[in-house]
A and B are shown apart, each in its own frame.
Chain A
Amino acid sequence: MSIFGEVPQAAPVAVFKLTADFREDQNPSKVNLGVGAYRTDEGQPWVLPVVRKVEKMIADDHSLNHEYLPILGLPEFRSSSSKIALGEDSPAIKDNRVGAVQCLGGTGALKIGAEFLRRWYNGTDNTKTPVYVSAPTWENHNAVFSNAGFEDIRPYKYWDAGKRGLDLEGFLGDLESAPDHSIFVLHACAHNPTGTDPTQDQWKQIADVMKRKSLFAFFDSAYQGFASGNLDKDAWAVRYFVSQGFELFCAQSFSKNFGLYNERVGNLTVVAKDQDNLNRVLSQMEKIVRITWSNPPSQGARLVAITLNTPELFAEWKDNVKTMADRVLLMRAQLKEKLKALGTPGTWEHITEQIGMFSFTGLNPKQVEYLVKEKHIYLMASGRINMCGLTTKNIDYVAESIHEAVTTVQ
């Protein structure tokens, strides 16, 4: 008799199952619009040229040692990453009230932030503080906060399926009705899965309510630079909140914008009222890190730090990022044009209005099923597609297939 004998099989993660099904599909026209990773126009993963360069530099550097990193991570990585999020001239950084924890990807940053908040925010060990995540949101948000001990995780209105855009009224309404001090997980840019971001004016309205009700802003920033091609533009919301005096967390991921999915490079930026508060927060985060992974992996952080802190490499990186963002923008424009040319019923403006890797097409589950089963085009049941899966070679096939799905399947 096994002590694990009664353990139930967990449901597979939808997006990984999708990719597995895609892999098994033998159809030559198959297209993978599922998992969120960048692809070139040849449909291949892309190791950024600057990454290859710096990797080699690291391997050839005889002065580097192999010791454990500090618990909070590589100092030059932490500070340069926070600068990327908040801006070189950030007043908060100048006031010495910004700190950071190097974490295992964006997930790790969310994890440490969540664990800290559960222990020390809104009282001590207050597992009842409501945590709000957007409807819809990245499917792992819920699990990270719930595993950190939070008992009350709620959706806030976000996507308006009818008008295929942001439900600002609903969002503001949920902010108003939320208990004071509730935690809100906000997508800094390129909302996953909808690709729909608030405008600057809308962010101002959101910030107003949050300030009035002392709601905690926990930004998830996984696509800085990747969304618009411009680092500063993509960081506008986070910087605005900081300028409004918010204390906040920002979970940064360098998986997408550095193409370093495999080295788990993340940073939890902490903005506090003053240095004293900051230090005490970091000291508690250090204790949490110690019992989770002890200290973070060095490879990816070194690579990012060297790149961000070396002017020529930094310029090259920004260029690489723009290459990726531009390709996505091109695919968006072309898909919309083709659907319009085909006369596909409905409006398709949202394809170019949305931003980042993902687009919420508005296709219903039946239409999605048609695309997957009949046309071997793999996308999420929600209608989410990864624009990076489109190439100049498959875009016609995809556009025609969407046209078929919309006109023949209700």
Chain B
Amino acid sequence: MQMNSEFRERQPIGVKNLSVALTQHGHTTWLPLVRKIKQQISTDPTLITEYPHILGIPEFTRRATQLALGKDSPAIVESRVFGIQTVGCTGAVCLGAELLRSCYCSSSSWSGPILLSSPCDDSLAGTFKAAGIEDVQYYRYWDAESNGVCVENMVHDLENAPEQCVVVLFASGHRPTGAELSQEDWKRVAEVMKRQLFAFFLMSAQGLCSGSLEQDAWPVRHCVSLGLELLCAQSFSHNFGLYGERVGHLLCVLKQNLLAVQSQAEKLVQTLWSCPPMEGARVVATVLSNPAHLVDCILISLALYTTVGKEPPLFKKITFFSCSLSAQQVDFLVQKKHIYLLPNGCLNVSAINSRNLDYVAESIHQALSSKL
């Protein structure tokens, strides 16, 4: 409270008007940073337009994998993970479904069952069925009475699921309810999964659900730490504002036989789209290689949701965004840039508006990139 009043009394220096992040009709254009990167790409004489690798840009898949699992993930350290650049999250789910059908428990094709949450988007069932997995069942998730997740029901249904069932879990940002499990709940779910159930995570807006990249990915990381194999479909539509570019990623964490599974994935990709589109992935790879850029993107995406008033269908209204700033960086922002935030580096997103967004984003960028 004290911070907010202090802010109200002082005018931030160098406030810039946001250069058309929001148009009159409420459509959003590219985030300023994204536009900058796109302009760089369009004028880079060394960039060529050749066929990319079947599985996508290596730098992109490497960074997307790190983003999901954390740089020091045991799966990464032990080389038990590979990633595939896909055409959006839908493409990742489609490819994952095909991969499961052709590989899972293979001597012959496995064809189910797959367990989806109740409720869930009906295109999800359609995707699995189209891949040849006809046996689609549901576990109870949303409980209308308590207006939230009933984890008892969920755990019960998973415990009674047939062995070698594949379970689709939402790491964060459940569609369509937006209802989440707590970390304690996830621990219980993971214990059940350990008994011969296979996790297929969907993570469509990492960073935007809780306001923390790490927290939104926690369920996936926890399962990996338990030694589970899993698939994870990621989308970069919301958190990078790259909807039209279809930037998705399918993460595969295995115990063994990585190269063989990778080779089968390549075969499948060739029957879907041969190789993925470059533009969006190039932008994301550039952003992910620079921590300051990443914060910039997430922050602005968050703010856009609150300022535009678009009620995101997947996630609750975020109030605080944690920027992982050090004490010196926080101090810099408060003293030098007149941006008031909590000592732990959490920023009140609802205080950002179209007039100060540019300034806030650039200031945080400065704080993160300069040696303080």
Residues of A within 8 A of B (CB): 1-10, 12-13, 16, 35, 37, 45, 47, 51-52, 55-56, 58-60, 62-69, 104-108, 111, 115, 140, 143-144, 146-148, 255, 259-264, 287-288, 290-300
Q: Select A66's contact among B244, B257, B270, beta carbons within 8 Å.
A: B244
Contacts of B91 in A (CB 8 A): 292-294
Query: Assuming A4-B254, A66-B30, is B273 touching A108 (CB within 8 A)?
Result: yes
CB-nearest residue of chain B to A258 = B49
Contacts of A291 in B (CB 8 A): 90, 94, 123, 126-127, 130
Instruction: Determine if B260 and A67 form an interchain contact, defined as CB atoms under 8 angstroms apart.
Output: no
Give the docked Cα–Cα distance between A57 and B54 (Å).
Answer: 28
Residues of B within 8 A of A (CB): 19-20, 23, 27-30, 34-35, 38-39, 41-43, 47-52, 54, 87-91, 94, 98, 103-107, 123, 126-127, 130, 164, 198, 229, 237, 241-246, 254-257, 259-261, 263-264, 266-268, 270-280
Seed contacts A7-B257, A7-B260, A259-B49; 20 additional CB < 8 Å A-B pairs: A5-B255, A7-B103, A8-B260, A10-B266, A10-B267, A12-B263, A56-B43, A62-B20, A65-B244, A66-B243, A67-B27, A105-B273, A108-B272, A140-B274, A147-B268, A264-B276, A290-B126, A294-B89, A294-B91, A297-B277
Instruction: Determine if B271 and A4 form an interchain contact, defined as CB atoms under 8 angstroms apart.
Output: no
Contacts of B229 in A (CB 8 A): 2-4
Contacts of A6 in B (CB 8 A): 105-107
Pairs of residues from A and B, 10 with the lowest C-beta to C-beta distance, nearest first: A104-B273, A298-B244, A294-B90, A2-B255, A299-B279, A107-B274, A293-B87, A147-B271, A10-B263, A59-B42
Contacts of B255 in A (CB 8 A): 1-2, 4-5
CB-nearest residue of chain B to A8 = B260
Contacts of B23 in A (CB 8 A): 63, 65
Instruction: Determine if B271 and A67 form an interchain contact, defined as CB atoms under 8 angstroms apart.
Output: no
Contacts of A144 in B (CB 8 A): 271
Give the docked Cα–Cα distance between A147 and B198 (Å).
Answer: 24
Most A C-beta atoms less than 10 A away, residue of B20, B51, B88: B51
Instruction: Determine if A263 and B277 form an interchain contact, defined as CB atoms under 8 angstroms apart.
Output: yes
Contacts of A60 in B (CB 8 A): 39, 42
Q: Select B274's contact among A37, A65, A104, beta carbons within 8 Å.
A: A104
Give the docked Cα–Cα distance between A111 and B88 (Å).
Answer: 17
Give the docked Cα–Cα distance between A379 and B98 (Å).
Answer: 32
Q: List 25 A-B contacts (CB under 8 A).
A: A2-B229, A4-B103, A12-B263, A51-B49, A56-B39, A59-B43, A65-B244, A66-B28, A66-B243, A68-B237, A104-B87, A104-B274, A107-B272, A108-B274, A111-B271, A144-B271, A147-B271, A262-B52, A262-B278, A263-B49, A263-B278, A291-B126, A293-B91, A294-B246, A296-B87
Instruction: Determine if A68 and B51 form an interchain contact, defined as CB atoms under 8 angstroms apart.
Output: no
Contacts of B245 in A (CB 8 A): 66, 297-299
Give the docked Cα–Cα distance between A288 and B90 (Å).
Answer: 12
Contacts of B30 in A (CB 8 A): 64, 66
Instruction: Determine if A297 and B260 form an interchain contact, defined as CB atoms under 8 angstroms apart.
Output: no
Instruction: Determine if B254 and A261 form an interchain contact, defined as CB atoms under 8 angstroms apart.
Output: no
CB-nearest residue of chain A to B283 = A299
Most B C-beta atoms less than 10 A away, residue of A5, A52, A56, A143: A5
Contacts of A111 in B (CB 8 A): 271-273
CB-nearest residue of chain A to B102 = A7
Q: Select B87's contact among A2, A4, A140, A297, beta carbons within 8 Å.
A: A297
CB-nearest residue of chain B to A142 = B271
Give the docked Cα–Cα distance between A144 and B272 (Å).
Answer: 7
CB-nearest residue of chain A to B29 = A65
Query: Assuming A65-B29, A291-B90, A299-B279, is B270 touching A107 (CB within 8 A)?
Result: yes
Q: Select B242's contact among A51, A62, A66, A293, beta carbons within 8 Å.
A: A66
Instruction: Determine if A292 and B272 form an interchain contact, defined as CB atoms under 8 angstroms apart.
Output: yes
Give the docked Cα–Cα distance between A106 and B275 (Å).
Answer: 11
Instruction: Determine if A3 and B104 form an interchain contact, defined as CB atoms under 8 angstroms apart.
Output: yes
Query: Assuming A67-B27, A298-B245, is B51 touching A262 (CB within 8 A)?
Result: yes
Contacts of A115 in B (CB 8 A): 130
Give the docked Cα–Cα distance between A382 and B254 (Å).
Answer: 37
CB-nearest residue of chain B to A36 = B51
Contacts of B88 in A (CB 8 A): 293-295
Contacts of B273 in A (CB 8 A): 104-105, 107-108, 111, 264, 293
Give the docked Cα–Cα distance between A107 and B273 (Å).
Answer: 5
Give the docked Cα–Cα distance between A234 and B237 (Å).
Answer: 38
Contacts of A293 in B (CB 8 A): 87-88, 90-91, 94, 246, 272-273
